[in-house]
Amino acid sequence: MDGALRDRVIVIIGGTTGMGLSAAKACASAGAKLVIVGRDAPETSAAASTLGKGVCAMTGDATQPASAVRAIRTAVDEFGRLDGLYHVAGGSGRGAGDGPLHQITDEGWDFTTRLNLSSLFYSNRAAVQQFLKQKTGGSVLNMGSVLGWSPSPEFFATHAYATAKAAIIGLTQSAAAHYAPLGIRFNVIAPGLVRTPMAQRAANDAKIMQFIEEKQPLDGGRIGAPEDLDAAVVYFLSDQSKFVTGQVLAIDGGWSVCEGRERAEGAP
C-alpha cells in the first residue's frame, strides 16, 4: 500500500477510534494527507498524536450538517483540495430504543437513522459539492454492514440499524450512477462483526462468539479486526480502483454466505 495515496487529501468522518482510526493509519502510511473527525475530544487528540504530521484532527458531531462541511473546508484550506471521503461514523442504537420492529421506539428509530444514515448523507453531500466546485473527480467510500442484507435474527435484531445500512447501499449506488460521468466514484465497505467499542456487547457474549465461529469461519472462525478492512479502504480511495464505482464489498469472514449454526455431528 506504500505510496498508493501519495499526496492525496482524504477526510475521514469517524476517524479517531476503531475501524476509522485503523484506516487513518493505513492511509497515512500510504502517503495521504488527512483530516480526521471524531466526537470525543480526548480520543481525537490521542489519534492526532498517533498519526503525526500531515494530519488535522477535529472534534465534531457527524449528525450535524456543519461538521462535514467544516472538515472538508479544513482539508481545502490546509492541503489545497479534497480527493476522497471515507465515512465511518455510526453505531448501535440499541441503548436508545432500537430493536425488533415491534419494539423500536420513535426515539430509537430517529436516533439510529440519524446516527447512521443522516450523518452519512451530510458528509457525502458536502464531498460532492466540493468535487463539483473543484471540477475534479474523487472517491467517496461509505461504511455499510452485512446486516443491511444478511440479517441475524437471534443475536442482532436491531431493525432500525439494518434499515439504515441498507439505505446506505441505495444512496451510494444511486449517487455512483449519477456522478460517474464526472469521475466521482461511490462505493461501500460492509463488514461483519469487528472488534470495536461498538461491538463490546457481542464480543463479551459467549453464545455470540460461538455463533461467530461458524458465521465468520475464515481464518479460524473469529471476530474481525479493524485492520482487516485497511487494504480495501486504501484501494477504494486510490487510483487502484479508478474503474470501480457503485460496488459493495463485504469484508465479513464469510458471514454473508454462511449459516452460523453448529455443524451436525459427522458433517464436514
Q: Catalytic site residues? A: 161
* Phi, psi (rounded to 5 degrees) for 204: -100, 10
Give dist(CA 103, CA 153) in Å, integer: 14
**Three-state DSSP class for 250?**
strand
The DSSP code for 266 is: T
Q: Which residues pair with 188 in a beta bridge?
A: 142, 248
> How many angstroms separate the CA atoms of 149 and 43, rounded?
32
Contact criterion met (CB below 8 Å) for 51 and 36:
yes
Residue 268 is placed in which grid cell? 464436514
Q: CA-to-CA distance for 21 and 152, rounded, in angstroms?
A: 27
Which residue shows C-alpha cell 430504543? 97
CA distances to 28, 61, 76, 211, 237 from 193, in Å: 25, 24, 35, 11, 23
